[in-house]
Structure 1
Amino acid sequence: MAPKKQLSLFDLSMIVISLVIGMGIFKTPVRVASAAQIPELFFLAWIIGGLVALCGALTYAEIGSRFPVTGGYYKVFSAFYHPSIAFAINCIIIVSNAGSVAAVSLIGAEYLSKVILPLDMQTEFYRIIIAAITIVLFYIVNLLGLKVSAKAQNVLSVIKMGMVLTLIGAVFAGPAAVSQTPVFETGIAGAVPAWSDYGKALGICLIAISFTFGGYQQTINFGGETKNPNKVVPRAIIIGLAIIIALYMAINYAYVRVIGFEQLKTAESIAAILAGKIFGPAGFTLLSGLIYLSVLGYVNVNLLSNPRAMYAMGEEKALPSLFTRISKRTDVMYVSLTVFAVIAVFTLFYAQTFEKILNYTIFLDCIGMATSAATLFFLRKRTADLDKKTIYSMRLYPLLPLIFIAAYLFVALSIYSDDPKAAINGLIIFAGFIVIYFISVFFNKNKQTG
């Protein structure tokens, strides 16, 4: 049973925004400022990150336009590489996203617990309970159908954008922070920085920035459920990412102006500082509610996106066929949705801190982003006969996808340089899933012949 086409341009644009704007923009600027050391490199890194994301958006816009299927982020690997590669990358992404949902839910629960719970109940146990309730609540919302969950996503995305715009307003709430003049220092005291020093610092900055901009590529999972997908998918990706880039540049300017660049390097709860500047003592309470709503948007959009990749894996027998089951009444992929929600709740009790998961997540994402973007070169040849008026074709091809692929390879090398253990473990996990795929295929063949 094929899914119905229900998503509009506005729906998909809001999904793009919620896939990208999670909790990263309220945490990663601290890490980027610490790595950049000077504001010029800080802003340059965000500009480069935005331009790379734009190259990626145009690349995935064309992939989505030429390959409009449900679970596209799985099927594009399966069609142009090998099902084992598709299985390994998507398993990693699904497990990683479930962990991210758990970790982000805990962050939201921590903020909310400080507002709604008495001091003696503000413990890890009760935060886990709040986080679990959050995931279960939006699991139920998604069980009601795509229209209901998409409408909920639209509301939460608008609230999320409103929160970011409100925090940007802190630049008008008072004088700029006084900060000492930052100096770029190398490991050798008194040494003049070389270009390689700046390059290494930029690479470390881009690790966190890539995490903060990531997620929009999953929009191609919705191609089979989007009205007029050849036009709507690319437009939604481009519109959504344009809004995100503008918001990110503006809020980073607000962080530097209000907090001060030197103080930003070690600051905690940077969003709370901006909220306090605008609303005074009540700022933290208001921000806590807004951040929790932002968390709801992130949880909901992952419950929307990831089951579609699992559905595609079930269609191609990489997962058991029961993952393709769809409710006749609500058109919901209820088995895939349930399994993803269970993984997320289970992970709550083992969720790692944001800093620990960052390098693992981004290194694995680098593999997925670079290889999935490269499928465009094959896809153009396969779809050369399509009417150019019905699909999106980027300008400056093949320059833009090559820039995007090169940038993610640079980030992967930067991760290896900064944290070799994370990179090597990432490769081992990737290889492990490929082995699992072939073992699964072997046993399935034996069952069919037995």
Structure 2
Amino acid sequence: MQPKKQLSLFDLSMIVVSLVIGMGIFRTPVNVAAKAQIPELFFLAWIIGGLVAYCGALIYAEIGSRFPVTGGYYKIFSTCYHPSVAFAINGIVVLTSAASMAGVTLIGSEYLSSVIFPPAMQTDFYRLVIAAITILIFYSINLMGLKASSKVQNILTVIKITLVLTLICAIFFGGQTENITPVFKTVSGNSPVWSDYGKALGICLIAVTFSFAGYTQTINLGGEVKDAKKMIPKGIKMGLFIIISLYLLINYAYVKVIGFEQLKTAHSIAAILAGKIFGPAGFTILSAVIFLSVLGYVNVNLLSNPRAMFAMGEEKALPSIFAQKNKKTEVMVVSLTTFTALVMTTLFFAQTFDKIVNYSIILECIGTASSAATLFILRRTTAHLDQNSIYKMKWYPALPILFISFYLFVGISIYQDDPSAAINGLYIFIGFIAIYFISKIVNKKKKIADAAEGTALK
């Protein structure tokens, strides 16, 4: 059964924005400033991150145009490489998405509980209750169907964009912190050389790159987009343009209002901007911003991840029950319920998953670089398509090669900064591939045993 084409250009653009803008932009600039040491490197890292993300938007626009299917992020790996690679990368994406969604929801509930509850009720139990209720509400909305969940997503994303723009307006309220002249210091204490700047930039780009991560999951919804071959490219590009603009503007606001040297060690940087505009009510306003970001993040993950599990079910990497849909609403009930249950479980064991999330950073590099490389394969296998009906990026193959090279550079930077996280991330990847083949062997033996039993009964 073909899925209904329910998502418009605006729907898809808002999904792209919510997949990328979560809580990171309210925290990562502190880390980037500390690693950059000087504002020139700080802004250069964000500009490079934005240019690379837009380059990625062009690549995934063409991939989505050539391969518009539900669960596309799984199926491009399965089709172009091998189902084991698709299972490994998407399995880890689902696992880490569940872990990060649980953690982010808990953080959001901390902000909300500090506003709505008296101090005596600001305990881990009540925060957990808020987080659990939030997830169950959005699970219920997603059970109503894609149309309902996408409308809710649009509202949340528009509110989030408006609030981020409001925080940016802090630059017009004056009274910024006095600046201290930043100095780039080297480990040896000598004058810095180009390699010192290059190494610092590479470390900065780790945080920047993952502040822009997430838009690749947009192609999971390819089978449900109206006029997908045209709308997917437009939606991804429009969404990334909004994200890049907001990121550059709010980082300028952080430096302008807080001061670059102070930004390196600042806490609650968004609260500082909110305080400049709203005074003592700033923290309450910030709490609303954070919680709305959490709501958008929860809903968009409940939209995207079950579709990857649905694709795994279609290709028998997961039991075929995961590929079932409700006939009336076309909701992937089993996949959605399983993913929600995984998130709810990790609410109680979120700390256990912290290391897995850290190790998965290297996997994001592997997944993004290898999924972008499928464009080279898709150009050959879909050469028969009407060239006027699909999107073709310009400057091919130069841009895909530069994009992939950038992620290799970030991967090397991760290894230099935290070798154990990089190596253990690779072990996790290999482990998932092993699980795939073991499950295939077990299923094959079970089928043989069942067939032999059936023969014996006859």
TM-score normalized by structure 2?
Answer: 0.96
Q: What residue is the counterpart of 2:201 in the other structure?
A: 202
Corresponding position of 1:339: 338
Q: Work out whether residues 99 and 353 of structure 2, in 8 Å CA contact, stay in contact via their aligned partners in 1.
A: no
- Deviation of 1:198 (Å): 1.0
Match of 1:36 in 2: 36
Q: Which residue number corresponds to residue 6 of structure 1?
A: 6
- Offset of residue 103 of structure 1: 1.1
Matches within 5 A, 1:30-179: 30-179=30-179
Partner of 2:350, secondary structure, is: coil
Cα drift, residue 357 of structure 1: 6.5
Q: Is the 8 A contact 1:30 1:264 kept in 2?
A: yes
2:359 match? 360
Deviation, 1:107, is 1.3
* Contact 2:369–2:403 (Cα < 8 Å) also in 1: yes
Match of 2:269 in 1: 270
Q: Within 5 A, what are the aligned runs for 1:421-436?
A: 421-436=420-435
Instruction: Answer whether contact 1:159 1:294 (CA < 8 A) is retained.
Output: no
Structure 1 contact 10–236 (Cα < 8 Å) conserved: yes
CA deviation after TM superposition for structure 1 residue 126, in Å: 1.7
Q: CA deviation at 1:319?
A: 0.3
In structure 2, C-alpha distance between the alignment counterparts of 1:192 and 1:425, rounded to whole Å: 35
2:75 aligned partner, one-letter code = K
Q: Contact between 1:65 and 1:231, CA under 8 Å: does it hold in 2?
A: yes
Identity, in percent, stands at: 69
- Shift, 1:100, TM fit: 1.1
Shift in Å, 1:354: 11
Q: Give yes or no for the alignment of 1:15 onto 2:15.
A: yes
- The Cα offsets for residues 67-126 of structure 1, whole Å up to 9 and x where unpaired, read as 000000000000010000000000000001111111110111010010011101112222
Change (3 A) 1:241 1:417: same
- Secondary structure at 2:185's aligned position in 1? coil
Per the TM alignment, residue 180 of structure 1 is displaced from its structure 2 partner at its CA by 0.6
Q: How far apart, in 2, do the equivalents of 1:358 and 1:443 lie?
A: 29
Aligned-pair distance for 1:353? Answer: 10
Q: Give the C-alpha shift of residue 175 in structure 1.
A: 3.3
Task: Tell me the residue number matched to 2:412.
Answer: 413
Alignment of 1:249-288 (within 5 A): 249-288=248-287
Q: How far apart, in 1, do the equivalents of 2:353 and 2:291 lie?
A: 17
Matching residue's letter, 1:35: K
Shift of the 26–156 alpha-carbon distance from structure 1 to 2, 3 Å rule, reads: same
Per-residue deviation at 1:195? 1.4
Equivalent pair of 2:361/2:425 in contact (CA under 8 Å): no
CA contact (8 A) 1:207 1:359 kept: no
- Contact 1:359/1:415 (<8 A) preserved: no
> Which string of whole-angstrom CA distances, capped at 9 and with x for unpartnered residues, describes residues 21-40 of structure 1?
00110010000000000000
Q: Deviations over 1:130-173 (max 9, x none)?
A: 11111111011100110000000000000110111000000001
Contact 1:45 1:202 in 2 (8 A): yes
Is contact 2:100–2:357 with CA below 8 Å preserved after alignment? Answer: no
Change (3 A) 1:437 1:371: same
Q: Supply the distance in 1 between the matched residues of 2:412 and 2:354 (Cα, whole angstroms).
A: 18
Match of 2:212 in 1: 213
* Residues 359-395 of structure 1: CA deviation (Å, up to 9, x unaligned): 4232110010000000000000111111111000000
Which aligned pairs between 1:429-444 and structure 2 lie closer than 5 A? 429-444=428-443
Offset of 1:355 from its aligned partner?
A: 8.5
What is the CA-CA distance between 1:127 and the residue it aligns to?
A: 1.2
1:348 positional shift:
1.3
Separation of aligned partners in 1, 2:384 and 2:40: 47
Q: Which amino acid aligns with 1:317?
A: K
* Aligned-partner residue type, residue 93 of structure 1: V
Alpha-carbon deviations, 1:188-210, whole Å to 9, x = none? Answer: 12x01121111111111111111
Counterpart amino acid of residue 103 in structure 2:
A
**TM-score normalised per structure 1:** 0.98
Give the direction of change, closer, same or farther, for the CA distance of 1:102–1:264 in structure 2 (3 Å limit). same
Post-superposition offset of 1:2: 3.2
Distance in 1 of aligned mates of 2:16 and 2:356: 22
In structure 2, relative to structure 1, the CA distance for the partners of 1:45 and 1:158 (3 Å cut) is same
Match of 2:454 in 1: none
Give the letter for the 1:176 counterpart: Q
Q: Which has the larger radius of gyration?
A: 2
- The one-letter amino acid paired with 2:362 is F
1:185 and 2:185 correspond: yes
Question: Is the Cα–Cα contact under 8 Å of residues 210 and 362 in structure 1 kept in the other structure?
Answer: no
Query: 1:222 corresponds to which letter in structure 2?
Result: L
Cα offset, 1:356, TM superposition:
6.0
Which stretch of structure 1 is more off in the superposition, 249-258 or 172-181?
Answer: 172-181
Distance 1:436 1:354 in 2: 19
Deviates more, 1:57-66 or 1:98-107: 98-107
Letter in 1 for 2:121: M
Q: SS at the partner of 1:319? A: coil
Q: Which residues of structure 1 form unaligned runs of 5+?
A: none
> What SS does the corresponding residue of 1:384 show, helix, strand or coil?
coil
| RMSD after superposition | 1.3
Which residue does the alignment assign to 1:377?
Answer: 376
Instruction: Compute the displacement of 1:446 (Å).
Output: 1.5
Q: Is the 8 A contact 1:366 1:408 kept in 2?
A: yes
Cα separation, 1, equivalents of 2:341 and 2:135: 9
User: Is residue 321 of structure 2 the alignment partner of residue 322 of structure 1?
Assistant: yes
After superposition, what is the alpha-carbon deviation per residue over 1:258-287, rounded to whole angstroms, capped at 9, x for unaligned? 011011001111111100000000111122
**Which residue is 2:232 aligned to?**
233
Structure 1 contact 208–358 (Cα < 8 Å) conserved: no
